[in-house]
Amino acid sequence: MDLEEARHFYIGGRWVAPSSGATVAVVDPATETVIGSIAAGTAEDVDKAVAAASKAFATFPATPVEERRALLQRIAGLMESRAEELAFAMTAEMGTAIGFARSSQVPLAIAHLRAMAEVLDGYDFLVRKGTTAIVREPIGVCGLITPWNWPLYQITAKLAPALAAGCTVVLKPSELSPLSALLFAQIMHDAGTPPGVFNLVNGTGEEVGAAIAAHPGIDMVSITGSVRAGVLVAQAAAVTVKRVVQELGGKSPNILLPDADFTRVVPLGITSAFRNVGQSCSAPTRMIVPAGRLAEVEALAGSHAGTLVVGDPRNPRTTLGPIANKAQFDRVQRMIAVGLAEGAKLLCGGRGKPAGLDAGYFVRPTIFSDVTSGMRIAQEEIFGPVLCIIPYETEEEAVAIANDTVFGLGGHVQSSDLDHARRVARQIRSGQVHINHPAWDAHAPFGGYKQSGNGREYGAFGLEECLETKAILGYYPS
């Protein structure tokens, strides 16, 4: 398939023509040039995909767990063998630096499949409680709506548990980063996925996403996106009382306790905040530091920011590529201007593009200091390489600042005293908290409090979002 002119959808085990001739351009954010186009689906295309998924659901739940586990492993193996092609596709479609695509975007996507295969090794779909059997059964047809910032990672995070549960799926990847998803659909085909178990319809959220959310033949919708998109999906889904799993925005805090090793955790905090050019919903973009150590933190932060290399995402030396699309680039620029207008102290970066990068949606890595919690830049998700350093006087104030947000997706605590860090971590109102920058865990549940969403992804917790619970009384003799 020629991905530069990808005009088909994957439905019922084959590539099929769309119902209309509408298309969406694919833009390389590093050059601002159109590199191809994809078909834009309609509600009619969603109907076809749901019909195929519903037909497959008549038999797929009965497949042995071992077969579903083997399918997950085959998909993971094919992704590994085509990792370079997948990495280059993401660099082209959303500007992720090729080094980051190779080290994170592709491997972490594969890890979701491997982790779910591990979950199936020991998961009990039937548990005895006295004379009652508690049975966990697949919920049905799952509509998966994924974002542009982690294109493959979010697909496998949602697809792996659905397949493991015995569900069938209709996927709508972001129209802004569709190339890797089309490659992934071919991988699903080559892995021997039964026809109709996996279906892909490209298109916009307003058309395809809305049709999936409202469709009476879809039993669950899982969406990763903005709060606005999550609300619209939940409203559309409410009419048919389907389950909705939402992973939405974030404004994650990073509390540096006074006894932390600042020379270690400040650079790591910036690296975490600016990972994927800051385009991560759980990025710790609020660094909350002791007021008496503010000058030290500023010096360390400025020094580390100077080591970042912004430029051509195809160059292995590049740390940060461009912002993924023009709309997001414009928002980042507006929010930097807001920070300046609010009186925050600009340590580095600022408005405009880095010197020598006139074409492409490149942003100057920006750090504001002496930020107060009430500022817009401390409250709103910017989704770019913009960090706010917020001083605190007492530990109680640090926790209050951390929780002073409508979001609750991630959080970080830094301390040389693990018990101290644990106590503070327990007080942060978010779905995940990281202590001292630990290794990523594909089995750790991921999801949010408050406006960061509902439900959980990853590992056994993600699997159970795709299951219904049935009690069969009298199943066992008394």
Q: Please tell me whether residues 394 and 432 are part of one structural domain.
A: yes
> Is 407 part of a structural domain of the chain?
yes
Q: Would the pTM count as exceeding 0.95?
A: yes
- Domain of residue 264 covers 253-442
What pLDDT score was predicted for residue 106? Answer: 98
> Is 425 part of a structural domain of the chain?
yes
What pLDDT score was predicted for residue 3? Answer: 52
Q: Please tell me whether residues 389 and 244 are part of one structural domain.
A: no
> Is 477 part of a structural domain of the chain?
no
Q: Please tell me whether residues 416 and 463 are part of one structural domain.
A: no
Closest CA to 432 of 242, 312, 253: 253
Cβ contact 248:281 at 8 Å: yes
Q: Please tell me whether residues 83 and 204 are part of one structural domain.
A: yes
Q: Please tell me whether residues 179 and 306 are part of one structural domain.
A: no
CATH of the domain at 404: 3.40.309.10
194/424 Cα distance (integer angstroms)? 48
b/e per residue 141-150 (b: at least 16 CB within 10 A): bbbbbbbbbb
CATH of the domain at 215: 3.40.605.10
Closest CA to 156 of 109, 89, 188: 109
Q: Which two tokens stand for residue 74?
A: 């085959």
Q: What is the pLDDT along the chain (478 residues), one digit of tens a residue?
A: 455 447 899 999 999 999 999 999 999 999 999 999 999 999 999 999 999 999 999 999 999 999 999 999 999 999 999 999 999 999 999 999 999 999 999 999 999 999 999 999 999 999 999 999 999 999 999 999 999 999 999 999 999 999 999 999 999 999 999 999 999 999 999 999 999 999 999 999 999 999 999 999 999 999 999 999 999 999 999 999 999 999 999 999 999 999 999 999 999 999 999 999 999 999 999 999 999 999 999 999 999 999 999 999 999 999 999 999 999 999 999 999 999 999 999 999 999 999 999 999 999 999 999 999 999 999 999 999 999 999 999 999 999 999 999 999 999 999 999 999 999 999 999 999 999 999 999 999 999 999 999 999 999 999 999 999 999 999 999 9
Q: What is the three-class DSSP state of 282? A: coil
Q: How many CB atoms lie within 10 A of CB 231?
A: 13
What pLDDT score was predicted for residue 6? Answer: 73
Q: Please tell me whether residues 76 and 141 are part of one structural domain.
A: yes
Which one is catalytic: 167, 175, 207, 281?
281
Output the DSSP codes for 126-184. EEEETTEEEEEEE--EEEEE--SSSHHHHHHHHHHHHHHHT-EEEEE--TTS-HHHHHH
Closest CA to 413 of 369, 345, 405, 401: 401
Closest CA to 284 of 258, 254, 259: 254
Q: Please tell me whether residues 224 and 265 are part of one structural domain.
A: no
Q: Please tell me whether residues 211 and 303 are part of one structural domain.
A: no
Q: Please tell me whether residues 139 and 262 are part of one structural domain.
A: no
Active site includes 247?
A: yes
CA 322 to chain centre: 18
> Is 317 part of a structural domain of the chain?
yes
Q: Please tell me whether residues 309 and 372 are part of one structural domain.
A: yes
Q: How many domains does the chain have?
A: 2
> Is 447 part of a structural domain of the chain?
no
Closest CA to 231 of 252, 210, 215: 210
Which one is catalytic: 247, 298, 381, 465?
247
> Is 478 part of a structural domain of the chain?
no
What pLDDT score was predicted for residue 4? Answer: 44
Q: Please tell me whether residues 290 and 351 are part of one structural domain.
A: yes
